[in-house]
């Protein structure tokens, strides 16, 4: 976990910003590039998330977020909403059933 980030907007390492953004790694059930796109897009629209990048090989998504705007659990819930597991939080059944066949975990 990184606590120190340079604020993108002001380009200053400001005390006020130092602890407001955290970066976490979340294990997902993504299996392909389409999953990557779905999850990254979902997180791009998730309140408080400043960046998200998923590594298809490991299915780990690295997420930076504003600690005063959201929590890790809310981010996991956002991933569940589009049909993927996030750490110990399992995807909703309905969202999972709506996934493309090739995107369902264990499909590969």
Closest-CB residue for Cu ion?
103
Q: Are 33 and 84 in contact (CB under 8 A)?
A: no
Min. distance of Cβ 28 from Cu ion in angstroms? 11
63 or 82: CB nearest Cu ion: 82
Write the DSSP assignment of 42-64 as a string of letters.
HHHTSTTEEEEEEETTTTEEEEE
Q: Are 7 and 17 in contact (CB under 8 A)?
A: yes
Q: Which of 61, 75, 79, 103 binds Cu ion (CB under 5 A)?
A: 103
21 or 79: CB nearest Cu ion: 79
- What part of residues 5-64 is at the interface with Cu ion (CB under 5 A)? 31-32, 34-35
Q: Are 51 and 63 in contact (CB under 8 A)?
A: yes
The residues pairing with 27 across neighbouring beta strands, listed in sequence order, are: 60
Min. distance of Cβ 107 from Cu ion in angstroms? 8
Contact residues toward Cu ion (CB under 5 A) are 31-32, 34-35, 103
């Amino acid at each position: 976990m990184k606590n120190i980030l340079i604020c993108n907007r002001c380009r200053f390492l400001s005390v006020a910003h130092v602890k407001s953004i955290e970066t976490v790694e979340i294990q997902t059930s993504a299996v392909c590039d389409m999953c990557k796109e779905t999850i990254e897009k979902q997180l791009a629209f998730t309140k408080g998330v400043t960046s998200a990048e998923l590594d298809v090989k490991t299915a780990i998504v690295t997420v930076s977020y504003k600690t005063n705007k959201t929590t890790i659990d809310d981010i996991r819930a956002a991933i569940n909403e589009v049909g993927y597991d996030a750490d110990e939080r399992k995807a909703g059944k309905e969202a999972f059933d709506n996934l493309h066949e090739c995107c369902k975990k264990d499909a590969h």
